[in-house]
Each structure stands twice: as C-alpha cells, then as structure tokens.
Structure 1
Amino acid sequence: MRVLLALGGNAMTNAEGRARVEDQVAAAGVAMEAVADLIAEGFDVVVTHGNGPQVGNLLVKNEVAAAVVPPVPLDWCGAQTQATLGFVLMNALEASLARRHLDRRTATVVTRARVAADDEGFRTPSKPIGRFLPADEAHLLVEHGETWQDRGEKGWRRVVASPEPLEILDAPAVRALVEAGFVVVANGGGGIPVVRAEDGSVHGVEAVIDKDLGAALLAETVEAEVLVIGTDVSHAVLRFGQPDAENVETVTVSELRALAAEGHFASGSMGPKVEAACRFVEAGGSRAVITDLPNLVAAVTSPPGQGVGTLVVPD
C-alpha cells in the first residue's frame, strides 16, 4: 500500500515554534521515526511537507538585506526550502531506517506545481506572509515589486497570491523513484508555483500554494491509496475551543463537507486539511486521515474505523 504523508511546516520546528537549525534537525528526527515505522510495516511512503517557518526565515533575510541586494523571489524561496528540508529529512530517515536494519534508499525531488496565469489570486493577492514591518521598510520592498498592505497598529504586511494547484509537473520522476524502491520527499510547501507560457516553457511566479491542497494533488498523481495529513492535533474538531468540542472520528466525504459548510473548520488552519482530505477521497483514494505524529502509525495500520484520528472515507 502506498501512503502519502503530508507534514505541516511546524513539524519541522520545536514546540515553541523556533526554527533554528538544531530545532529543525531534532524535529525531523521525530517525524522520520514515524515514517520508518510505516516502512517497517511494509508500506511505500512518499513524504511532502510544509515550509512556512523556513520561507519566513528567508523573507526576514530578504528584508534585512533589501538595501544591499535584491530580494529573492518566492519561487526561489520555495526551491531552496524544498532542497534544504529534503536534505534534512533524508538524513533523519536514513538514520531511523538504519536503527531498524532496513535498507531503503531516499531521494528528494525539487518539485514544480503548475497554476493558471489567470488565477483570481493574482488579481487580488490576499494571503499574508512574513512579519509586520514599519511603513518605511515596507515601502523599500514595494519598490522591488512586492505587494504590502497597511494593517494598522501592527504595521505593514506582505500579501501574495495563493493559486489553485492544477498539475504536479515532476510527478513522473516521483513515481519512477518510488517504483525503483526509493522513499521520496517531494512537492514541499505545496510545490514551486509555475505557469506555462504559450510556447510551452514554464517560469516561476510570486505565489504560495496551500501545502495540503498540493499534497492531495500529489497523492492522486502518484496513485497513493491513503493520504495522511499530519498536524499538531489528533483529530479535526467540531466547535473547536468550546466546552462542547467534539472530535470528528470516521466520516464520509459528504458528511465532512456538510460540517465544513457549517463553519466548523477555520480557513487558516484545519479548513485546508479538511478540503484536501475530501478532494483526495473524491478523486478515488481509499481513505484520508488527519492526525498527529504520535498516532500516525496506528492511524494507517489499524483497520478502517478502529485507528486514531479523523478518518475520511468515500460516501
């Protein structure tokens, strides 16, 4: 059975959200222990990941150096963090596999995701990224072509497009490596956003793709049977934060979509994960699971309906 595991970007930081090198290496070690356990159980695993904290670090470097060197564009930031996190995850996974005396090769594919040049997000950028800055520092970055908005007392913040991923351009390479026995890390951060020109060439664009929606598309494209969305809670939750909060256990796609329509899942956190799970199962996946790392192996290996986490199944 092939499993696509989507790790949140915060899975690569420490409990307080710090993303120092040592924090990321330690967090990768924890995450890859769970992946090694799945491999030991006989699963093929493809790993994808968020990169928000890591891109955030690069954006700070852009801002600090903007008066000296031009800022690195977001597509370059995505490529850099895909390669760096892939390197860290491969090292951690190979160490975990060695402790289990398992001989599996690893690979990272720097992966592009095609988006539409006329996506609505490019006309009205709305996804905030990075930190707040005072007006004079933000204006310097505006001169470099970035879009910043005045957010009142907090200062100015950059906004970018978050277009819909349409195609994972490098999925054939991922599939070939998986079929050759590699454990592959791919499509980090939802994929590097690119558009295709009329002559067939592609070029990167300043945008951020939702990593969960990118994970669902990658899972479908590489013919995974199960999509696991790893997050920092064990379940999607109804009435989150309220006294009558309730875990969502086993649920059909139509039931989950109805709950989402009632407003149970925040757009900036659980909402994209729920949408990704629904899309994957609607596209033919056998099931999707939303859970945390400690429950990852049980969520995948237990019989449907008897594991841990929110299990999404076909209608």
Structure 2
Amino acid sequence: MLSSHLWIPLTLVAAFGQTLRNTLQRGLIAEVGTVGATHVRFLYGLPFGILLCVVVFAATGTKPFVPSLSFFAWTALGGVAQALATGLMLAAMRTKTFLVAIAYTKAEPIEIAILAMLVLGEVPTPWLVGAILVATAGVMIMSWPKQGTTEGTLRPAALGIASGGLFGLSSVGFKGGIIASGLGFLPAASITLMTGLAIQTVLLSLYLIATDRGALSKLLKAWRVSMPAGAIGAGASQLWFFAFALEPVAHVRTLGLVEILFSAAVSRTLMKQMASPREIFGIVLLLAGVVGVLNG
C-alpha cells in the first residue's frame, strides 16, 4: 500500500528540487550563455548520477547491467529531448519573468498524456483527462500576459510551449528506458538517469567545443557555483525517475505542476515578482487539478 503512494512524495520533492536548480541555472545565463547554463545540469550532474547509481546497485544487490539497444534508444531519446527542452526554457527566462517562463512550459501534461497513450499504452481515465485539463488551464491563466503587455510575448510563449512539449517527450523516452532495462524500479531509474546524463554530457560538450569553447571554459571555471546546480538537478531527476518507474508519466508530471507554486514562491521571495489576482485564480485551478489527479 505504501509503495502505491510513494510516487506522490517523490514527485513533490523532485518538483521543489527542480525549482531550486532552475533558479541556479537562470543565474548562470549571463556568465556562460544559454547553452552553457543548460549544460550545468548535465556536466555537473553526471558525477552525482554515477554515485547514485553505484549506491542503488550496491544497496539492492543488482548485478552488473548490460544495456540493450532498446534501452539505449529510449534513453537517448529522453536525453536529447530534455537537453533541447532545458535550453528553450532558459531562453524563455531571458525575456520573461521566472514565474511566467516556467508557466509557459506547463502544457506538458497534455502532451505527455497523448504521447504516453500512443507510445507506451498508458491510457488515461476520463477523470484524469479532466484533472489534467483543469490543472493546465490554471497554469495558462497564470501565464497569460497582462493587458497592454503583449509586445514581446509571442517569442517566450513559443519557446516555453516548445520546451514543454520536449520535456513531455523526454519523460516518455525515459519511461521507455526504465521499462526496457528490465530491472526493479530503483536500479532501473538509477541506470536510466546515469545513462541519460552521460549521453547529454557528451553531446553538449561536443557542441560547445565545436561552437563556443569560451562558454565551456567559463563553465569549467565556474565549478563552485555550478556544482550545487548539478547536485540538486541530479537528485531531483533521480526522484522523478523513481516516480516514473512507479506510476504512469501523465500522473507524475501533472502532480509535478506544483513546481509552478514553488516558482511563484521563488519569484516573490528572491526576485520581488508579486503574483496578481489572476495568477492566484490560476493557482486555485492548478491545485484543483492536482487534487483530481491524486483522487483519480
């Protein structure tokens, strides 16, 4: 009974950790650029991903793992999609407030529900579909531009929505990798995370070497401020993956919309960006949708 509800606290803590990581990454954009800031979660997350995997395999007595082609393909899909999604999200943050930029990405659960149904065979119930729509509507209301401030909104909106779609695709890819591993939920989640981080680190490092070695050099020199983002990101991702292994991805990512509440708190306390009455109404809808998911 406990294991059937374990995904809920895992998801909540993961969403909070993701908010902290996004905040740290956002602060690095000016110093190392958008691609460099994107690479922080992978380059500095990989050592922690390896450590987590070693600890989990040792604690569960799991034998050495030989990845199949299917496992590698699913995980590579998740890794590439997540890297692109992170870059688009950070680009959106450069032109809009932290809260609104995050909100634009949160059409993701609808896209995930469709992808998971088509690709993984995870068919949502009518109740879950309704809860996802209500929660997403709340996020969209929160992110809708104020009257007279539509100028310059189209680009961050497009970046954020595209980012959300790619985050959805990455969740489906990682869930496919977890299933293809054939392991128990703990080692399956850990090996998928480690493999995904390794793929992302190699690809983005090669990209920066080819296009912007200066950004990579700055990123390596900024290890003191980058290491916390990598550690928090790896920890949050590990919890997301544990939750994916236990529950359909549409459930997990819809509950993960509570990240927008954490982002609102960050905006208010760290960036002095106050929530408007409209945004508060959106929060109420979001919470109603989350409650629907938990009771679906």
More strand by share: 1
Instruction: Between the two structures, name the one with larger relative contact order (CA 8 Å, sep ≥ 6).
Output: 2
